[in-house]
Structure formats: C-alpha cells, structure tokens
C-alpha cells in the first residue's frame, strides 16, 4: 500500500504564506537594526562629554566606585541617558497612538495642545512661587497636571459632541493657542529672572535629571506602554475608518478615550521633568513606519526605540558640537525635526 502524497500548492496559499514569512523576517531584521542603532546611541552618549572620560573608561567607572570617573559616569551621564530614553520613547509611542486614532500622519503629542498646556503648567510655579520654595518639583507637577487637563478637556468635548477625530484636532488647536497666549501673558508680566527660567524650560533639557525624577518618569512612561501595546490590533483596524472598525467589533469611542488617556499620561511623564522637546513624537513614528510598515504590533516598540535613539543622539550632539557649551536638547531636535516636517508635508497626499 502506497503512502499518500500531499502537495502544497505553491501558486496559492503556499506562495502567500512564503511571502508572509518573508515580510515578517524583514520586519525582525529592521527591528534588530533599530535596536543596534539605539544601543550604539546609548553607548556613544555615555562615552561623550567635556571631561575626557571615553569609551574605555565606562565599564571600570560603573563597576568600581573608587574609579576617578565613577562620579562622572554614574552620577552625571547615566541619569541623563536614562531620562533621554524615557523621554524619547514616551513621546514617540504617544505620537504613534495619536496618529492612529486621529488618522493623521502629522499628528503628535503637541497637535492636541499638550505641549502648550505643559508649558503653562510649568510657568505658574515659576511666576507665583519664590525661588527658595523647591520649585523644580512644583514645575514638574504643574506641567504634568495641565497636560492631563488638556486631555480631559478634549475627551469631554469629544464625548459631549459625540464627535470624531476632526473635532479632537480642532479642540487641540484651540487649547494650544489658549495656553500659548496665557504663557505669553505671564512672560510679559514676569520679572527678568522668571522670564529667563521660563525660556530655558521651553528649550528642553536633561540637565536636571536625577534618579528620583527618573523613577517617577519611568512609572508614567513605562506603565501605559503594555496597555497601549494591547490595543495595537484595534489601531490597525481603526486606520480603515470608524465605520469599518465598528463593523469588525471595535468600540471606537472607547478606544479613543483609552488611547488618549494612556498616551497623555506617557506624554506628561516624558516632558514634565525635561521641558518641551518637539518633533520627536512626529519624526520617530515615521522613521519606524518607513522601516517596518503600519502594523502597530511592530510599529509601537520600534517607534519607542527610534524616539529614544533620536533623543540620545540629539543630546550627544548638543553636548559635543559646541563644547564646553551645551546646546539645549529642544533646540537640537527642532533643527533636525523641521526639515523632516517639511518633507512630510510634501508627501502628505501619498501618506493619507
């Protein structure tokens, strides 16, 4: 008795499966490349600075508390790198979320007015609290609180009007102008020292990053990430349109509410200790999307890594290009982000 023979139809399902495996393999290779760039950026940031402590000193300085470079690496550079990773990753995957739920490739955490709201929240303690009143924590708390307030207002308006992504964008633009105007008013009324502190906060900087701040930021940035990653299949579906997503079982209003809350929390945690750092939430998701496509199961972690690498590279450039002067991080990201933003505007019809 002959053994039955089974043949795979390579012109049908077999070919489709082979193509799928090829695409998945390409995604994992791209992910490995992003991880390698991120690791190189982190090591380069740790090894760069005006003190002369280089790559060869890193491991001995970290492992040996008595090493002459231990304080420089562990107390100054390592916290800076940790905060850069949290800030970049939080802004980047928040940008992915906003681009998905708004179906707008130019959306970012600042499209909904959150950057302006955070800035206004930081301005209030600078203006109204005395310099000796431990203002740094109050500044961070104010930035965090007003970032979340802007998210609550947008959700309330959207829920009240039973509206979609267009209303969310318009509400965010209105909040952006409102908080920007209020910030300008207090800058006009403030003393010279207060105005200088406000301007420096808006430049964005990692110079005040300490382990206590890093721990708080880690809770706010890393806590929402698994919950956002769980929503990745729904983000894929909502890109086809609200009606199509509803037909496939997605509760679109609830998805938008959850996504805005989680992404706003990550955004608030990213910027409350560092100040406004623009364009990372716009640029990093598009870099990841070019490399891996629009599948949010890959796009979310890839964007987080791209954002972390971008902030690390920008901070390293800011500390080394004009050493010993340090160019604020927000200025460096703006220099790199503005050309990319114009590039996206030119390609917008292709991306929509």
Q: Which residues of 203-240 are buried (b: 16+ CB within 10 A; e: fewer)?
A: bbbbebbeeebbebbbebbeebbeebeebbebbbbbee
Look at residue 265 in the predicted model and tell me its pLDDT: 94
Separation between Cα atoms, residue 32 and residue 237, nearest integer Å: 26
Judge whether 42 lies within some domain. no
CATH number of the domain encompassing residue 129: 1.10.3470.10
In a domain, residue 336? The reply is yes
352: confidence class by pLDDT, cuts 50, 70, 90? very low
Quick check: is 162 in a domain?
yes
* Residue numbers of the domain that contains 125: 71-351
Confidence category of residue 6, pLDDT binned at 50, 70, 90? very low
- In DSSP notation, 295-324 reads -HHHHHHHHHHHHHHHHHHHHHHHHHTTTT
Residue 24 CA from chain centroid, whole number: 25
Q: What pLDDT is stored for residue 129 in this prediction?
A: 86
Rounded CA-CA distance 51/71 in Å is 11
Average pLDDT of the segment spanning 114-120: 92
What is the C-alpha separation between 203 and 326, in angstroms, rounded? 12
Lowest mean pLDDT among 50-59, 89-98, 217-226, 244-253: 50-59
Confirm if 256 and 117 have CB atoms less than 8 A apart: no
Which residues does 218 contact at the CB level (< 8 Å), separation at least 6? 86, 269
- Structural domain count, the chain: 1
CA–CA dist 288, 301 (Å, integer) = 9
Task: Please check the confidence at residue 252 and state whether its pLDDT lies above 50.
Answer: yes
Q: What is the pLDDT of residue 3?
A: 46
Residue 244 lies in a domain: yes
Extended beta strands in the chain, E state:
none
Q: Looking at residue 349, what is its pLDDT?
A: 52
Structural domain includes residue 148:
yes
Model confidence band, residue 10 (pLDDT cutoffs 50, 70, 90): very low
Q: How far apart are CA 335 and CA 341, in angstroms?
A: 11
Distances (CA, A) of 156 to 100, 145, 263: 20, 16, 16
pLDDT of residue 18 exceeding 80, the answer is no
| Local confidence band at 179 (pLDDT 50, 70, 90 cut-offs) | very high
pLDDT range class, residue 146, cuts 50, 70, 90: very high
Q: Taking a C-beta distance cutoff of 8 angstroms, is the pair 80, 211 a contact?
A: no
Residue with tokens 């690498």: 309
The pLDDT assigned to 133 comes to 72
- Write down the residue that tokens 């930021």 correspond to: 217
Q: What is the pLDDT of residues 286-308, one digit of tens each?
A: 999 989 988 999 999 999 999 99
pLDDT tens for 300-344 read: 999 999 999 999 999 999 988 887 788 889 899 988 878 877 776
Q: Is residue 9 part of a domain?
A: no
In this predicted structure, the answer to whether residue 60 has a pLDDT above a threshold of 70 is: yes
What is the pTM (predicted TM-score) of this model? 0.88
Evaluate whether residue 211 is within a structural domain. Answer: yes
| Whether the predicted pLDDT of 100 surpasses 90 | yes
Q: Which residues 6+ apart lie within 8 Å of 236 measured at CB?
A: 294, 295, 296, 297
Other C-beta atoms lying within 10 Å of the C-beta of residue 171: 21
- Residue 11 within any structural domain of the chain: no
Higher pLDDT, 4 or 226: 226
* pLDDT recorded at residue 11: 53
| Cα 303 from Cα 100, distance rounded (Å) | 13
The backbone torsions φ and ψ at residue 50, rounded to the nearest 5 degrees and listed phi first, read -80, -10
- Per mean pLDDT, which range of 60-74, 172-186, 300-314 is the poorest? 60-74
- Give the model's pLDDT for residue 132: 66
- Residue 8 pLDDT class (50, 70, 90 cuts): very low
Instruction: Judge whether residue 102 has pLDDT over 70.
Output: yes
Distance CA 123, CA 56 (A): 42
């Amino acid at each position: 008795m002959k053994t039955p023979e089974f043949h795979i139809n390579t012109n049908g399902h077999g070919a489709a499966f082979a193509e799928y495996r090829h695409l998945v393999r390409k995604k994992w290779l791209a992910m490995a490349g992003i991880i390698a760039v991120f690791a190189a950026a982190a090591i380069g940031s740790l090894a760069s600075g005006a003190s002369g402590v280089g790559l060869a000193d890193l491991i001995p300085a970290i492992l040996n508390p008595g090493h002459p470079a231990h304080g420089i690496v562990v107390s100054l550079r390592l916290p800076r790198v940790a905060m850069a990773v949290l800030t970049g990753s939080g802004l980047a995957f928040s940008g992915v979320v906003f681009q998905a739920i708004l179906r707008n490739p130019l959306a970012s955490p600042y499209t909904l007015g959150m950057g302006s709201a955070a800035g206004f929240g930081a301005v209030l303690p600078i203006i109204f609290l005395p310099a000796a009143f431990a203002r740094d924590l109050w500044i961070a708390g104010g930035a965090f609180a007003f970032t979340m307030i802007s998210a609550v207002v947008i959700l309330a308006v959207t829920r009240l009007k039973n509206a979609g992504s267009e209303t969310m964008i318009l509400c965010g633009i209105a909040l952006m102008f409102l908080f920007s105007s209020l910030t300008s008013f207090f800058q006009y009324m403030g003393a010279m020292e207060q105005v200088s502190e406000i301007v420096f906060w808006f430049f964005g900087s990692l110079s005040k990053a300490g382990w206590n701040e890093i721990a708080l930021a880690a809770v706010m940035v890393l806590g929402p990430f698994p919950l956002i990653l769980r929503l990745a299949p729904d983000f894929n579906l909502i890109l086809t349109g609200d009606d199509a997503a509803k037909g496939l079982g997605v509760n679109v209003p609830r998805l938008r509410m959850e996504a805005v809350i989680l992404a706003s929390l990550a955004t608030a945690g990213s910027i409350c200790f560092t100040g406004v750092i623009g364009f990372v939430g716009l640029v990093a998701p598009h870099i990841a999307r070019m490399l891996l496509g629009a599948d949010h199961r890959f796009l979310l972690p890839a964007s987080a890594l791209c954002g972390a690498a971008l902030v690390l590279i920008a901070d390293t450039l800011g500390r080394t290009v004009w050493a010993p002067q340090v160019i604020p991080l927000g200025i460096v990201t703006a220099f790199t982000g503005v050309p990319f933003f114009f590039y996206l505007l030119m390609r917008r019809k292709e991306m929509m």
